[in-house]
Each structure stands twice: as structure tokens, then as C-alpha cells.
Amino acid sequence: MREQDFIPKQFSNTLENGEVTWSSPSNIALVKYWGKKENQIPANPSVSFTLQNCKTTTRMKFQKKAAPSATFDFELYFEGEKKEDFKPKIQQFFERIAQYAPFLKDYRFTIYTENSFPHSSGIASSASGMSALALCVMSLEKELNPEISTVTGITNEAFFYKKASFLARLGSGSACRSLEGELIEWGEHKNIPASSDLFGIKYPFEIAEVFKSFQDTILLVDKGQKQVSSSVGHNLMHGHPFADSRFAQAHENLDKLKTVFASGNLEEFIAIVESEALTLHAMMMSSHPYFILMKPNTLEIINKVWEFRKATKIPVCFTLDAGANVHLLYPENSKEKVLEFIKNELVVYCEKGQYICDQVGKGAEKL
């Protein structure tokens, strides 16, 4: 599919007012996306687990304007309070998707959004937030034109999610991986059919049952604001001395994971996922300017995980986003022992002893 396929041709209905609510989860990348081109195009493909409990719920009320307008008109409330400092991000999002959702300037919006996880807890709220908002926009489009698909052979429902993912990507790249579950791939890859830089797709190959109920416990090492924004971090891959090797590595790891996901080989899964996490941070430490986003307690946790896994043979591993917090990934049948390990040995390294228990989920939900 091409960008032009997402430009609506006509609207068959009129709508004066209404509201829509969507809940959309965050996700955790296994093969990391780091580096992007113009228009939120990823420099390498990625694959992620969709989470279940860490999610954003967004309610969008809309009222048709009395006369056409050249501007976007909206108010934003975050967890019950008006948030003027959040508005520039929404303004930018609306500007980026205007040609694909031209009806946005015809309405006045009031947007209410809230997270199920603490703000600034290190969970990817831009992924859950932008995907929830994109789904609200698509629900309005579907009201205006129930036959939304512009592509022969693609059903209205399939097109709805492809376009919602396409729009979400323009708000936050990783948001395009938050709409469906359990595994979502984003970015063109020669050995993954229908893969696209424009939107995420459900992983098209066999997935062993063990991965469909995988657990993710997020250890909150540092709840402060990130030292470097994701946008700045991605841009540091331009001219990075190791960029080409990193992008090739991501493609290779996706090839390796095809066999891993099908067989349920947890040993190989752990090796790839932990390598990806450390490579992400290696890219930041070797960029210009350079950053160390891990904290001393991040390293303490990583070493404790390695010691625990060696001693117990329990297949628990870590992954990291662009920050200090640690995601512990493990099968559901190891949950009791891993949680005991967390409480006994890892919670001391978490800010105020805080951690969040989550697991692989099915994706967004209309409420």
C-alpha cells in the first residue's frame, strides 16, 4: 500500500456531534527501531510484544463548526486537568495527518486522556497515547464514510486498522505497533510478507504458545524525565559510524526470530533480545553527542538477572528502552518464582520500590 491509498476520496455521511473512546496499550520492542528517515519512516524493521495492562484511554468529543476553518480547534485534558503543554504534540500530529483526515478542521474537539500507569514511569506513553488518538480519528472517519477502504481486496475492517496504524506512526513511530497483538512487526523486511514502513502488521508466521502469554514486569529504576528525547536519539543515527551495521543486524535478528517464535526456543530468544537491548544503548554511547541512559541500578539488575538465570535455569531475560528502566520478560509458568526473585533481590534497585506487572495482550479496544 502507498501513502495515497490513505487519502479519503469522499464522505457519504454528515455528522454534527458525538464522541468516541478507545483504549490502546503500550508495547515493548524485542528487535529495536532506532534511527528514522523523513516522515517517520524507520531506518530498520522492528518487532514488539503488545502489552495488556499499561494502556491509555482516550475519549474524543467532537462538535461540527458553524463555518469552515483553516485551523485545528481542540482542548486537551490529561487525567482530568487541562494540559496546555501537551497541545503542541497534538497540533503537530493533526498537521501531519491533515491530508489523510481532512475533516479534522471541520470539528471542534475536546480530548480526554488518561494512563493506567504512572506518568513519567518510563512506559512508552507516546505509543499508547498516539495509537488511542489515531483510533478515535479513524472512528470519526468511519462514521463519515462507512465504506472506508480505498483498496480493492482489503476489507473495511482491515483497512481501518492499517490506516489507524499509519496515522499513529505519524504521531509516534512506535505507536503503529500498539493497535493489535500479540506480536507486531513494523518496517520493510525482504523475508516478511506484507511488511511495510508505513504501518505495523500482525506478525505473519507461526508463534509458539509460550510467547502468547509472556510476562513483562517493568522495574522502575528512574522515573525522571529522559536525558534525551526519542526524536533526538533517533536523529543521532544519521552519520553514526556503526549505523549500517546496526541496521543490518536488525534484519538478521528478525530472520533468526522466525525460527525462535515458531519453536519456542527460549535460550535463543533470550540471546537475541538481550543483545538487541544492549546494542540500542551501545548506539547511544557511541553517537555524537553521546549519552549513557542506564543508571548504576540498571546494571545491578542486569547482573542479578544473569546470576539468577544461571543458578536456577529459569528463562527470564531483560530488555531496555531508551532509558534506565528494565523490562523483565519470562514465560507465564515461571511467574511465581520470578516475582519472588524480584521482591527478594531486585526491588531494592527500583525507585521507591516500584515495579509494574504486565503481560502480552491482544491490542486496542473500543469502549
Tell me: the pLDDT tens digits for 324-356?
999 999 999 999 999 999 999 999 999 999 999
pLDDT digits (tens, 9 = 90+) for 225-276: 667 777 788 999 999 999 999 999 999 999 999 999 999 999 999 999 999 9
Across the range 131-153, mean pLDDT stands at: 94
HEC string of the chain equals CCHHHHCCCCCCCCCCEEEEEEEEEEEEEEECCCCEEHHHEECCCEEEEEEEEEEEEEEEEEEECCCCCCCCEEEEEECCEECHHHHHHHHHHHHHHCCCCHHHHHEEEEEEEEECCCCCCCCCHHHHHHHHHHHHHHHHHHHHCCCCCCCCCCCHHHHHHHHHHHHHHHHCHHHHHCCECCEEEECCCCCCCCCCCCCEEECCCCCCHHHHCCEEEEECCCCCCCCCCHHHHHHCCCCCCCHHHHHHHHHHHHHHHHHHHHHCCHHHHHHHHHHHHHHHHHHHHCCCCCCCCCCHHHHHHHHHHHHHHHHHCCCCEEEECCCCCEEEEECHHHHHHHHHHHHHHHHHHCHHHCEEEEEECCECEEC
pLDDT for 214-234, tens place per residue? Answer: 999 999 998 776 677 777 889
Please report the pLDDT score of residue 120 as a whole number: 56
pLDDT of residue 222: 86
69: pLDDT strictly greater than 90: no
pTM for the model stands at 0.94
